[in-house]
Amino acid sequence: MPDFSRIIGKSPAILDIFNLIERVCRNREVSVLIGGETGTGKEVVAKTIHENSSVGNELFVEVNCAAIPEHLLESELFGCEKGAYTGADRRRRGLFELADGGTLLLDEIGYMSLALQTKLLKAIEEKTFRRLGGENEVTVRARIIASTNVNLEEAMQRQDFREDLYYRLNEIQITLPPLRERGDDVILLAESFIDEFGRVYSLGHRTLSETSKDLLRQYHWPGNVRELRNAIKRAMILHDAETLQPDAIPVSIRQTNSLATRKWNSEQLVINFTDEGVTFEEVEKQLIEHTLKSTEWNKNKAARMLNISRPRLLRKVEKYGLEPN
C-alpha cells in the first residue's frame, strides 16, 4: 500500500484518486498527466507518486514551464555544452539528466512552446537527446509526470498543443477534483493546517467553531487547498482565541459565501425526504429559515411573506432555535 500521508482527505472523490495513484506506482514506465484547477494538489500528487515508486533516493526534479522564458527553458531541460550560446561558459547538465532514474515533473506543461514540445516528445520516445550545442546523445530514464491547469484538449484544438505529445503524456490521467466537490475534506484539511501552523508558530491548540465550519463548507474555493491553507494561516496569526470564530475567516470568503447563500435561498427551498419521511415541524422550520434568509432576517417582511403575525413568527424562531449565521 503506498504512503498517502501527504494527501489529506477521505471523500469518495479523493479515494478514487488514491486508487489511481496506487496503480500508477505499480508501473514505473507509465507516464502520468495530472489535471485540476490551481491549488488542488497536483504537485503533492506528483511527489506522492515519485516517493512511492522509488527504490532508492532518486531525485524528484520539478520544472515550471510557465515561469521560465522559452529560450531558457530549453537549456534548463536539456542542458548545454560549453559555447552553445553566448554566456554558456561551461557544460551544464539539464533537468532531464538530473532526473535520470527518478521523476521529472513538467509543471504547467500547457505553456510550453510548440518547438520545445517537439523536442520533448522526441526525448521521451527515444529516451535520448542532445544537449544544446552538443553532438553526443545522452540517454536518460526518468519517469515523466506532466501537470496542467489548462484544458489540453482545447489547446490541441487551437493547435497550441501537439496531439502526439498529449497522447504520449496522457497514458494515465489523474484529474483532481476542486475542493468544493470534496465534502467534509475541507474540514479535515482545515484542522490539519490548524495543527501544522499551531506547531510551526507555537500557537497551541485551536478549534473551529461550528459556524466557521459551515462557512468553510459553503464557500466555493476558487483557489482550492492553497487558498484554504492561506486562510487558516492568516486566521491563526491574527487571532488569539482558542476557538476560531467566523470573524477570523477572511472577509472575502464570508462575503462571497453570503452572496451565494442569498442567491440560492431566493431561488428554491429543497426538502430532502428520508426513509422515515419528513415531519411537518421539520418542513416548517426549514421554510421559516429559508424565508428569513431570503429577507436578510427582516422579520416583518418574513412574517408578511409567510402570512403569519410577527409575534407568531418570533415564537417559531425561538422554538426552532433559528439564528443568522
Ligand X SMILES: Nc1ncnc2c1ncn2[C@@H]1O[C@H](COP(=O)(O)OP(=O)(O)O)[C@@H](O)[C@H]1O
Phi, psi (deg, nearest 5) at residue 273:
-85, 130
For residue 287, give the 3-state DSSP assignment.
helix
Contact 90, 57 (CB under 8 A): no
Give 19 or 118: the residue with its C-beta nearer to ligand X. Answer: 19
Quote the radius of gyration of the chain (alpha carbons, Å).
Answer: 26
- Grid cell of 238 as nine digits: 491574527
Single-letter amino acid code for the residue at 168:
R
Among 21, 32, 36, 109, binds ligand X (CB under 6 A): 36
Contact 157, 119 (CB under 8 A): no
Binding mask 187-216 for ligand X (x = CB under 6 A): --x---------------------------
- Cβ at position 47, least distance to ligand X in Å: 8
Q: How far is it, in rounded angstroms, from Cα 26 to Cα 276?
A: 46
Among 226, 239, 254, 285, binds ligand X (CB under 6 A): 226
Partner whose footprint covers residue 38, from Mg ion, ligand X, none (CB < 5 to 8 Å by kind)? ligand X
In this structure, what DSSP letter does residue 132 have? B
- Cβ at position 116, least distance to Mg ion in Å: 19
State yes or no: residue 177 binds ligand X (CB under 6 A): no
State yes or no: residue 39 binds ligand X (CB under 6 A): yes
> What residue ranges bind Mg ion (CB under 5 A)?
43
Give 220 or 312: the residue with its C-beta nearer to ligand X. Answer: 220
State yes or no: residue 231 binds ligand X (CB under 6 A): no
Partner whose footprint covers residue 288, from ligand X, Mg ion, none (CB < 5 to 8 Å by kind)? none
Q: Which sign does the torsion angle of CA 135, 71, 113, 124 carry?
A: positive
Phi, psi (deg, nearest 5) at residue 188:
-55, -45
Task: Pick the piece of the chain touching ligand X (CB under 6 A) from 23-31, 32-40, 66-74, 97-105.
Answer: 32-40
Partner whose footprint covers residue 174, from Mg ion, ligand X, none (CB < 5 to 8 Å by kind)? none
- Cβ at position 9, least distance to Mg ion in Å: 17
Using CB under 6 A, count the residues that bind ligand X. 15
Instruction: Name the residue among 89, 166, 186 with its Cα closest to residue 133.
Output: 89
Q: Name the burial class of residue 199, with classes exposed (0-12), middle (13-18) and buried (19+) by CB atoms within 10 angstroms of its CB.
A: exposed
Q: How far is it, in rounded angstroms, from Cα 322 to Cα 170?
A: 51
Give 213 or 290: the residue with its C-beta nearer to ligand X. Answer: 213
Sorted by sequence, the CB contacts under 8 Å of residue 249 that are 6+ apart come out as: 212, 215, 216, 231, 235
Among 21, 24, 33, 43, binds ligand X (CB under 6 A): 43
Give 43 or 97: the residue with its C-beta nearer to Mg ion. Answer: 43
Residues lying near ligand X in the complex (CB under 6 A) are found at 7-9, 36, 38-44, 189, 225-226, 229
